[in-house]
Amino acid sequence: MERTCARAVELGLPSIAFTEHADFGRTILVSGDREDLPGWLAAHTDEHGVVTPPDLDVEGYLASIARCRDLFPGLRILSGVELSEPHWHSRRTAELIDLGGFDRVLGSVHNLRHVDEQTREEHEYDSGDAYRMLDADTVIRNYLAEVEKLATGSDAFHVLAHIDFPVRYWPAGAAPFDPARFEEEYRVALRALAGSGRALEVNTRVPLEPVIVRWWYEEGGRTLTFGSDAHRPEDLADGLREAAAMVETAGFRPGTHPYDLWRR
């Protein structure tokens, strides 16, 4: 975190938010041997391919935030959390938010629920991994349907993160991803989010399609924020200038803190 703050100062950013992940579900890996997984993932995966994420160390996280604020007094440093499927885990979500007192809370969908055809049991699967079970179009449509449920089913978050998350894992052998094929599904999800008065994140890790930002504007969305999903200091603000220029074309303007909340 300290190296990321130093990078923010080097880049001239006025503010930064550390939104640590909080995952409450147990995810089943569709395929792949445990031995082939990255070390951090293998450590939380059992012999049946079930991933049980560890609890967020809130005390340690907040201590790191406080240390960074002391070291970089000229940088506006926000605490934050990214909640995975908070509409599925309302009790644990509320407990975490009460404990952390976060400045910025993101809501996100990482997992999809799917019924096993043999056992008829419902399980959670990572949406990127779901391409191994379902055709690509179905993954996108199921994902956007879950985003709509998140927007209407939870009031715990301020910003919707990466509405295009499964696009990161779009199958190499499929036809190129075309958001126009899913316009109605995107609009339904965006309309639900706009109606709740919350913000849409433009995540620059995989640049958000400009047409989706235009749909956000047309469906009544008023606020945008940016995230570079920088898990490494050197990735901080990657693609940020280009993303800012893109949303400005769609009609959004910077607020009090540039590259934080933009409004129409």
Per-domain boundaries in the chain: 2-263
Mean pLDDT of the chain: 90
CATH superfamily of 2-263: Metal-dependent hydrolases (3.20.20.140)
Residue 36 or 113, more confident: 113
What is the longest distance spanned by two Cα atoms in the chain?
A: 58
Using CA atoms, how far residue 181 sits from 125, 185, 212, in Å, is: 24, 9, 12
Q: Report, as an integer, the average pLDDT of 153-159.
A: 96
Confidence of residue 48 (pLDDT cuts 50, 70, 90): confident
Q: Report, as an integer, the average pLDDT of 52-56.
A: 88
Q: Are 235 and 10 in contact (CB under 8 A)?
A: no
Instruction: Return d(Cα 24, Cα 142) in angstroms, integer.
Output: 20
Per-residue model confidence (pLDDT) at position 220: 96
Instruction: Return d(Cα 68, Cα 59) in angstroms, integer.
Output: 14
Q: Report, as an integer, the average pLDDT of 141-164.
A: 97
Dihedral sign from CA coordinates of 54, 103, 247, 257: negative
Per-residue model confidence (pLDDT) at position 256: 61
Q: Report, as an integer, the average pLDDT of 20-37.
A: 76
Confidence of residue 89 (pLDDT cuts 50, 70, 90): very high
Dihedral sign from CA coordinates of 211, 22, 111, 176: positive
Residue 106 or 34, more confident: 106
- Which of 95-99, 117-121, 219-223 bottoms out in mean pLDDT, i.e. has the lowest? 117-121
- Which of 40-49, 75-84, 92-101, 122-131 bottoms out in mean pLDDT, i.e. has the lowest? 40-49
Nearest to 53 by CA among 40, 62, 44: 44
The two three-digit tokens of residue 237, written as one number: 């603000």
- Which of 21-30, 96-105, 230-239 bottoms out in mean pLDDT, i.e. has the lowest? 21-30
Give the rounded percent of residues in the chain with a pLDDT score beyond 70.
93
Q: Half-sphere exposure of 224 toward its Cβ, with a 13 Å CA cutoff?
A: 32
Per-residue model confidence (pLDDT) at position 258: 53
Confidence of residue 32 (pLDDT cuts 50, 70, 90): low
Residue 4 has pLDDT above 80, yes or no: yes
Per-residue model confidence (pLDDT) at position 194: 97
Residue 210 has pLDDT above 60, yes or no: yes
Per-residue model confidence (pLDDT) at position 31: 65
Q: Report, as an integer, the average pLDDT of 136-165.
A: 97
